[in-house]
Amino acid sequence: MIDFPLIAGILASMLHVISGPDHLAAVTPLAIETEKKTWKIGLFWGIGHIAGMLLIGGLFLVFAAHIPVERISEHSEKLVGIVLIGVGLWAFYKLFNEKRSPSKILSRTDKKSILSSLGIGILHGFAGIAHFLLLLPVLGFKTNFEGTQYIIGFGIGTVLVMTIYAFLLGKATYFTKRQNAQFFNGIRFSGGIFATVIGIYWLYLGF
Q: From 103, 108, 107, 106, select the one nearest 181 (Cα to Cα).
A: 103
- Residue 5 · residue 146 · CB < 8 Å: yes
Q: Which whole-number Å values give the CA distances from 183 to 104, 172, 177, in the listed order?
A: 15, 12, 8
Beta-bridge mates of residue 1: none
Distance from C-alpha of 153 to C-alpha of 149, rounded to nearest angstrom: 6
Q: Which whole-number Å values give the CA distances from 117 to 42, 91, 140, 160, in the listed order?
A: 7, 14, 32, 15
Distance from C-alpha of 157 to C-alpha of 13, rounded to nearest angstrom: 5
Handedness of CA 192, 22, 41, 35 (dihedral sign): negative
Q: What is the pLDDT of residues 77-120, one digit of tens each?
A: 777 888 889 888 888 887 777 645 444 444 555 677 788 889 88
3-state secondary structure 1-63: CCCHHHHHHHHHHHHHHHCCHHHHHHHHHHHHCECCCCHHHHHHHHHHHHHHHHHHHHHHHHH
Distance from C-alpha of 182 to C-alpha of 54, rounded to nearest angstrom: 42
Q: Return the domain boundaries, the chain.
A: 4-206
pTM as predicted = 0.75
pLDDT per residue rounded down to tens, the chain (207 residues): 445 888 888 888 888 888 778 888 888 888 887 877 889 999 999 999 888 888 877 776 666 566 665 666 666 677 788 888 988 888 888 777 764 544 444 455 567 778 888 988 888 887 765 565 666 666 667 777 877 888 888 889 999 999 999 999 888 887 887 777 777 788 888 888 988 998 898 777 766
Amino acid at the residue 163: T
Distance from C-alpha of 17 to C-alpha of 154, rounded to nearest angstrom: 10
DSSP structure class, residue 180: -
**Side-chain-facing half-sphere of 14: CA atoms under 13 Å:** 12
